[in-house]
Amino acid sequence: MILNAVQFDDAAKERIKEAAAYEKRLRLEGYLDVETNIGPFVVKTMLVKHALELEYGENRLNMGKPPEIDDLVHFLWVLRPETDLRTEKQFSKFAVKNLTLEVRNEISSYFSLQFLDMPTCNGGKSNAFVNEYDSSVWLTVILHELCGAYSWTIQDVMNTSMSAALQLIQQIVKSNNPKYSPRNPITQAAKAQEMNNI
């Protein structure tokens, strides 16, 4: 059997370029502290310390579980801009009132996109034997790698956006393993979609 390289038509190439441009824009936003509007809410760039705050609060978004109202309110509270001077009670009341299904989905999407550049583990294979009683903090590896590679303090890393931290981690992995290819999940998904359409 002879395998030929896939040839995309101009329209397909344009759609893939748009996906790549969108992915690049998301990465740039991670470096530039761009605030995001989600419905009536404004959220600031998610920092490494915010991911830890969500983990400390046992937020289901951080645990990969379907979020409930309290998780979404907690997420919005942690990522609210400093200019939002409402009390926690006032903010919660407003948030619960405005958490439509569309806003809930946007929050989940926004959260997922913060981890766009999470390096693959175990050669891309999931580990079926993960210790369900693990008491370690998974972000410690990010702190360790960035502090070691760039001589940053823990506070430096904690105040780095999650997106930028993961982009830097991928570059560290690549420098240690030249065969490693940084992930481009949005662009790759667009290519896969176009291949399915052929």
Q: pLDDT 10s digit of each residue in the chain, 198 long?
A: 444 556 778 888 888 899 899 899 989 998 998 999 999 999 999 999 999 999 999 999 988 899 999 999 999 999 999 999 999 999 999 999 999 999 999 999 999 999 988 876 544 433 433 455 566 777 888 899 999 999 999 999 999 999 999 999 999 998 989 888 887 888 888 888 888 777
What whole-number distance in Å separates Cα of residue 54 and Cα of residue 71? 9
Q: Is 161 strand, coil or helix?
A: strand
Structure tokens at 50: 């915010």
DSSP element (H, E) containing 41: strand 41-43
The pLDDT of residue 51 = 94
Looking at residue 120, its pLDDT comes to 67
- Amino acid identity at 103: V
**pLDDT tens-digit profile of 105-152?**
999 999 999 998 887 654 443 343 345 556 677 788 889 999 999 999
How crowded is residue 48: how many other Cβ atoms within 10 Å of its Cβ?
A: 22
Nearest to 60 by CA among 127, 99, 69: 69
Residue 172: Cβ within 10 Å count: 17
Question: Which pTM value belongs to this model?
Answer: 0.82
Integer Cα distance of 161 and 85 in angstroms? 23
Q: Residue ranges per domain, the chain?
A: 10-116+134-196
Look at strands 36-38 and 41-43 and give their pairing.
Answer: antiparallel
CA–CA gap between residue 74 and residue 70 (Å, rounded): 6
